[in-house]
Amino acid sequence: MLKVIGAVLIIIASTGIGRLFACKLQQRQICLSQLQQGLLALEREVGFAATPLPQALNQAALAAGHGSVVFTAAADLLVNGEGLSAAEAFTQSIAENQLAISSTDRQILADLSSGLGLSDCDDQLKKIELIRLRLQSAESEAKEQYASWGKIWKNIGWSVGAVLVLMFI
């Protein structure tokens, strides 16, 4: 009876680990989508409302879901950052906050900071649009990755558990 309980626990644990890896792939996809929504809101605030950058970043945070931490932290750093530029504040907020994105995705976001708050409205809008399109491409890649690797991780999880159980029997 004890062996059966142990076998069930091994299979449950390994299945959970496989689902955890699959979930991380899905979280990246969701986070990229939410960051795009935040960038759309930032684009709207910068282009049409001519809102000051800290307020525009806070408005972007409202639309960004879990990605809001980047926009909120950047706005806070601009207001309380003791003279940080917008680029420095945005770069620092990307580096400090835990998001479910890859280092490549972080670099795409960091590219936005190079002209943020320094150039005229049209240049900033073009830059935001370019970054949003690059994030959209990264999201498409993340969807494909989840579609293929998500199933693989889920199946590997329970199958490794089954192999371990068979080895112990």
pLDDT tens column, 134-166? 999 999 999 999 998 988 998 999 899 999 989
> Hey, what's the torsion of the CAs at 63, 64, 66, 72, to 10 degrees?
-90
Average confidence (pLDDT) over 7-27: 92
So what's the pLDDT on residue 67?
79
Average confidence (pLDDT) over 95-120: 80
Locate 63 and state its tokens.
Answer: 């639309």
**Residue 126 confidence class, pLDDT cut points 50, 70, 90:** confident
**Residue 49 confidence class, pLDDT cut points 50, 70, 90:** low
Give every CB contact of residue 54 below 8 A, 6+ residues apart in sequence.
75, 78, 79
